[in-house]
Structure 1
Amino acid sequence: MRTPPPGPLCTRESIAAQLGEVGLRPGDTVLAHSSLRSLGWVCGGANAVVLALLDVLGEDGTLVVPTQSGDNSDPAEWRNPPVPESWWTDIRASMPPYDPRTTPSSGMGVVPEVVRTWPGALRSAHPQTSFAAVGPRAAEVVEDHALDSRLGERSPLARLEALGAHVLLLGVGFGSCTAFHLAEYRLPAPVEADNSFAVTTPRGRSWTTVRDVAVDGDDFAELGAAFVGARPVRHGRVGAAVTRLFPLAEAVAYAEVWLAGRRTGRRGPGTRP
């Protein structure tokens, strides 16, 4: 006897209706983090989720997703899993350079991959922490993503803050809330580290090292719980998924204070995002 698929049944229409109930509106700019599996059985899969998001946002709204590719990094920093030190030189010499058109995201889930390849989607230039966007503000969000500002003032996160964007956590927790990283860059003395990756330059492929803030999201779940207790966060459900919606700027402002009180003198981890 076959086991029936886990429910509930979700459709493009039901997802859009429930996103509206949680507070997403036409014309919004939203940074969405998602888990397709958490919704239940989705008729149409990830494509249906993206279509529902675009239905709610309308022609004037902009959908943004993280499309990170953290494997393009120094193998000396790899931990899950590590690779033999004898391989490091060859990996640095052979890692394919980042190409915003073709480099797949990793560890972000299937919805960002659908957005990344959506007609008209634009993607930012950072080889590890890129963002993809669809909508009238897409170019403004993804432009000029600096190599030494993965998630800082010269990244799409700062653009989203200035645009009054919201964060949507669709079936994922605050541990996935990329916006909190922007607050790390604003700490009084952020920890810095070398960060390396393969990029394409006018002279061809290059293994490049820059100095950047050492980002660390290990305490973001705790930070998120404190944020929910102190600031208005709209909760709802889409299918079986718990959903949270809140202004990105408010989350960053709260995180700046919260992190400053807990990371004084703390050493950051390695450079892999």
Structure 2
Amino acid sequence: MPTTPSRSPLCTRDSLAADLRDLGVRPGETLLVHSSLSSLGLVCGGRVAVVEALLDALGPAGTLAVPAHSGQYSDPAGWQHPPVPEQWWPRIRAAMPVYDPATAPSRGIGVIPEAVRTWPGALRSAHPQTSFAAIGPGASALTEGHAPDCRLGERSPLARLEEAGARVLLLGAGFGSCTAFHLAEYRTSSPLVDNSFPAMTPQGRTWLTVRDTSISDEGFEELGAAYEKECAVVRGGVGGARALLFPLAEAVAYAEGWLPLHRPRS
């Protein structure tokens, strides 16, 4: 019995690498990637083939970075997907393991970042909730020094990516996923909030609460649409996915001007 032809393209490591090069990904550059595997079509080799294609396009001198966030290392009082009963909160706080960059799974950011996180030689930053993973010669400089009271600000990999002249690739992902915009929140007088997680100290495990800048992706899609209209964003296709490529520093600078006007905070 004949099968129904798929409307999704068939992608391979080589075809994806060629698409990335055609889009403008350059050998030797530093690239922060937000991605959706399903948007690409049928990928022969799955998430592994996508990472291989990205590394092929970047070459041995390039550095690949991804968010490797793990929001499960947080206060259960703020959990919403799903919420948990209040009577469980003390037990969860007491039993939650301390974040280990080598073993803590990423969550809510797709399967490609998880493939990068577990890639041979990959490095990962130390923040228990908003870590980044990276592969390549620039990985150490990007991931070191991620402060526990700075999720996505000046002492996070985002600022190191900015210093490195990184570009952002949205690979089947929207501007709502663009973590670079959060760096602008730290520069636009966003309020401070308490942030809690288990941590290891010289005295042993403790439940640590720090003061950090409030972060939210509210309005990021609108921010991204405005940025895309006014700046030279490279647009194209990779497999079946819509892809956008742009300088991280330029996007952050644009967000610094946009956020106070469109999302004022007290």
Amino acid at match of 1:156: P
Q: Following TM superposition, by how much is the alpha carbon of 1:6 offset from its aligned partner in structure 2, in angstroms?
A: 5.2
In 2, Cα distance between equivalents of 1:19 and 1:201: 44
Query: Normalised by the size of structure 2, how large is the TM-score?
Result: 0.97
In 2, Cα distance between equivalents of 1:200 and 1:62: 30
In 2, Cα distance between equivalents of 1:265 and 1:155: 22
Q: Which moved more, 1:202-211 or 1:90-99?
A: 202-211
For the aligned residue pairs, the C-alpha RMSD in angstroms reads 1.2
- The residue number in structure 2 matching 1:49 is 50
Q: Following TM superposition, by how much is the alpha carbon of 1:5 offset from its aligned partner in structure 2, in angstroms?
A: 5.2
In structure 2, list runs of 5 or more residues that go unmatched.
none
Secondary structure at the aligned position of 1:47 is classed as helix
- The residue number in structure 2 matching 1:263 is 263
In 1, Cα distance between equivalents of 2:130 and 2:10: 33
Secondary structure at the aligned position of 1:50 is classed as helix
Residues 30-45 of structure 1 aligned to structure 2 (within 5 Å): 30-45=31-46
In 1, Cα distance between equivalents of 2:172 and 2:27: 21
- The residue number in structure 1 matching 2:23 is 22
In 1, Cα distance between equivalents of 2:168 and 2:137: 18
Matched, 1:227 2:227: yes
Query: Normalised by the size of structure 1, how large is the TM-score?
Result: 0.94
Residues 93-112 of structure 1 aligned to structure 2 (within 5 Å): 93-112=94-113
Q: Following TM superposition, by how much is the alpha carbon of 1:218 offset from its aligned partner in structure 2, in angstroms?
A: 1.6
Secondary structure at the aligned position of 1:226 is classed as helix
Residues 219 and 263, structure 2, Cα contact 8 Å, conserved in 1: no
Residues 6 and 41, structure 1, Cα contact 8 Å, conserved in 2: no
Residues 190 and 265, structure 2, Cα contact 8 Å, conserved in 1: no
Q: Following TM superposition, by how much is the alpha carbon of 1:260 offset from its aligned partner in structure 2, in angstroms?
A: 1.4
In 2, Cα distance between equivalents of 1:78 and 1:5: 39
Amino acid at match of 2:216: D
Residues 68 and 131, structure 1, Cα contact 8 Å, conserved in 2: yes
In 2, Cα distance between equivalents of 1:234 and 1:161: 18
Q: Percent identity?
A: 65
Secondary structure at the aligned position of 2:72 is classed as coil
